[in-house]
Amino acid sequence: MMKIVKIGLWILLALLIFIQFIRPEKNSGEIYTESFICNVVDVPENVEQILRVSCYDCHSDSTVYPWYANVQPVAWWLNDHIKDGKDELNFSTFKKRNLKGQLKKLKEIAKMVEKREMPLESYTYIHKDAILNPQQIKLVADWAKKTYDKLLADSLAKTSKTVEEK
């Protein structure tokens, strides 16, 4: 019986070592690309600062990885968050969305921070500096709402202008 347990443990150890070699590709591109959100709408410095600390690790093309991101299976788990996060919202490629998509994301940003659903709790558990205080939540939510209104108004103005010109 003891022998079986021992063999089992050795197999487990071998597996753990083996999976260290299967690494997901890292999210290590550029944050500030040509399609970065600043190239679509105004993002004041104090708002950008908050997004940088609390959101870009999962919502941009570049992640600052903690040391344990090199340990499997943690890296897979982190990678899933980054992939899902980027699929939903990527500040680095914001410009690539159409107007409707951009408006939708701005609305969601305000909602997510106000409901304290973002940044993810599993993230702020370790990244304490990413936790948003009430003023920061208000700052980001107000910015997102104001930007939504402005983007919509600008696009309506543009459309009516082209209609007039015709």
SS3 61: coil
Instruction: Please report how close the Cβ of residue 101 comes to ligand HEC at its closest, in angstroms.
Output: 12
- Is 26 a binding residue for ligand HEC by CB under 6 A? The answer is no
Instruction: Please report how close the Cβ of residue 2 comes to ligand HEC at its closest, in angstroms.
Output: 43
Rg (CA), the chain: 21
- Is 54 a binding residue for ligand HEC by CB under 6 A? The answer is yes
Q: Is 89 exposed, middle or buried (0-12, 13-18, 19+ CB in 10 A)?
A: buried
Place of tokens 């941009």: 60
Of 27, 43, 57, 94, which one interacts with ligand HEC (CB under 6 A)? 57
* CB of 33 or CB of 102, closer to ligand HEC: 102
* CB of 33 or CB of 140, closer to ligand HEC: 140
Rounded to 10 degrees, the C-alpha dihedral 125/94/43/129 comes to 10
Place of tokens 């993230």: 123
* Residues in touch with ligand HEC (CB under 6 A): 54-55, 57-59, 81, 84-85, 88-89, 105, 108-109, 112-113, 118-120, 123
